[in-house]
Amino acid sequence: MPTTAPSTKRGRPGYDQQSVLLIAVDVFNRHGYDATSMGILAENLGISKSAIYHHVPSKGDLLKLALDHALGGLEAILEQPQAKTGTAEARLEFVLRETISVLVERLPYVTLLLRLRGNTEIERDAMERRRTFDHKVAALISAARDEGSLRQDIDPRTVTRLLFGTINSIVEWYKPGGSLSPEKLADDVITMAFNGLHVPR
* CB 198, min distance to a copy of itself, A: 5
- Distance separating alpha carbons of residues 70 and 148, to the nearest angstrom: 32
Residue 196, interface with a copy of itself (CB under 8 A)?
yes
- Distance separating alpha carbons of residues 134 and 75, to the nearest angstrom: 10
- Distance separating alpha carbons of residues 175 and 14, to the nearest angstrom: 27
Nearer to a copy of itself, 7 or 119 (CB): 119
> Reduced to 3 states, what is the DSSP secondary structure of residue 43?
helix
- Distance separating alpha carbons of residues 53 and 88, to the nearest angstrom: 47
Residue 110, interface with a copy of itself (CB under 8 A)?
no
* Stretch of residues binding a copy of itself (CB under 8 A), selected from 3-11, 105-113, 125-133, 188-196: 188-196
Residue 194, interface with a copy of itself (CB under 8 A)?
yes
- Distance separating alpha carbons of residues 127 and 122, to the nearest angstrom: 9
- Distance separating alpha carbons of residues 189 and 187, to the nearest angstrom: 6
Residue 1, interface with a copy of itself (CB under 8 A)?
no
* Stretch of residues binding a copy of itself (CB under 8 A), selected from 2-10, 73-81, 99-107, 158-166: 158-166
Residue 119, interface with a copy of itself (CB under 8 A)?
no
Nearer to a copy of itself, 20 or 102 (CB): 102
52 neighbors 38 (Cβ within 8 angstroms): yes
Residues of this chain that interact with a copy of itself (CB under 8 A) are 32, 35, 148-155, 158-159, 161-162, 164-166, 168-170, 172-173, 180, 185, 188-189, 191-200
